[in-house]
C-alpha cells in the first residue's frame, strides 16, 4: 500500500497547484476561480524511488452551504482516507477564521498533519509564517508551489516519517 497524502485547505490557497507539482500531472484543474475542484482527485507521484498517492480536494470555507457543503464533505472524506494531511494555508492573506476551523478538525481527526504555508514567494518569510504558529499544528513549512519551491523537501520530510 502506498502512503496517501490529502491536500486540505480553503479554496484558492494553491492545493491544485501543489497537486500538479507532486504528481507531475496537469490533471487537477487549476484556476483563478476559487473552489473550482469540486471533487476529490487522486494522483500518483514519486520522489527518488518512493511512490505515494495524493488527494486533491475542493476546499473548506468554514461556512458551508450548497456547493461549499459538498466541497467540505469531500475534504473531510479525503482526510479519513489519508495517512497524512498537508494543510495548506496562504502566506499572503495570513491566518483567517476558516483556517482555524480546519485546524480544529484536523486536531480532532488525529491524523498526522503538516502545516504548509504556500505563496511565500515575494513575501518576507518570517512575516508570512509568524501568524500560523498559533494554529498549534507544529512548525509551519514554507513553500511556493507555483515556483516549485520547498515542494521536494516537503514530500521527502513527510515520507521519512512513515
Residues that bind ligand GDP (CB under 6 A): 11-17, 30-32, 34, 37, 59, 118-119, 121, 144-147
Min dist CB 120 to Mg ion, Å, is 19
Q: Indicate which of ligand GDP, Mg ion, none lies near residue 45 (CB less than 5 to 8 Å, by partner kind).
A: none
Beta bridge partners of 42: 55
**Cβ count near 92 (within 10 Å):** 14
Among 10, 16, 79, 99, binds Mg ion (CB under 5 A): 16
Min dist CB 29 to ligand GDP, Å, is 7
Q: Indicate which of Mg ion, ligand GDP, none lies near residue 61 (CB less than 5 to 8 Å, by partner kind).
A: none
Q: Indicate which of ligand GDP, Mg ion, none lies near residue 146 (CB less than 5 to 8 Å, by partner kind).
A: ligand GDP
Of residues 23-42, those binding Mg ion (CB under 5 A):
37
Min dist CB 147 to ligand GDP, Å, is 6
Q: Which of 148, 130, 147 has the alpha carbon at shortest distance from 139?
A: 130
Q: Are 3 and 162 in contact (CB under 8 A)?
A: yes
Binding-site ranges for Mg ion (CB under 5 A)? 15-16, 37
Instruction: Could you list the residues known to form a binding site for GTP, using ranges.
Output: 9-16, 56-60, 118-121
Amino acid at each position: 500500500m502506498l502512503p496517501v497524502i490529502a491536500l486540505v485547505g480553503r479554496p484558492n490557497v494553491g492545493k491544485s497547484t501543489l497537486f500538479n507539482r507532486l504528481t507531475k500531472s496537469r490533471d487537477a484543474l487549476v484556476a483563478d476561480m476559487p473552489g473550482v475542484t469540486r471533487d476529490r482527485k487522486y494522483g500518483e507521484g514519486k520522489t527518488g524511488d518512493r511512490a505515494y498517492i495524493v488527494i486533491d480536494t475542493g476546499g473548506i470555507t468554514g461556512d458551508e452551504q450548497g456547493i461549499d457543503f459538498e466541497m467540505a464533505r469531500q475534504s473531510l472524506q479525503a482526510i479519513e482516507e489519508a495517512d497524512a494531511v498537508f494543510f495548506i494555508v496562504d502566506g499572503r492573506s495570513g491566518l483567517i477564521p476558516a483556517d482555524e476551523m480546519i485546524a480544529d478538525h484536523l486536531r480532532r481527526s488525529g491524523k498526522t498533519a503538516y502545516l504548509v504555508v504556500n505563496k511565500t514567494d515575494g513575501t518576507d518569510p518570517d512575516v508570512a509564517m509568524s501568524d500560523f504558529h498559533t494554529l498549534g499544528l507544529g512548525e509551519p513549512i514554507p513553500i511556493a508551489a507555483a515556483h516549485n519551491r520547498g515542494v521536494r523537501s516537503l514530500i521527502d520530510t513527510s515520507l521519512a516519517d512513515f
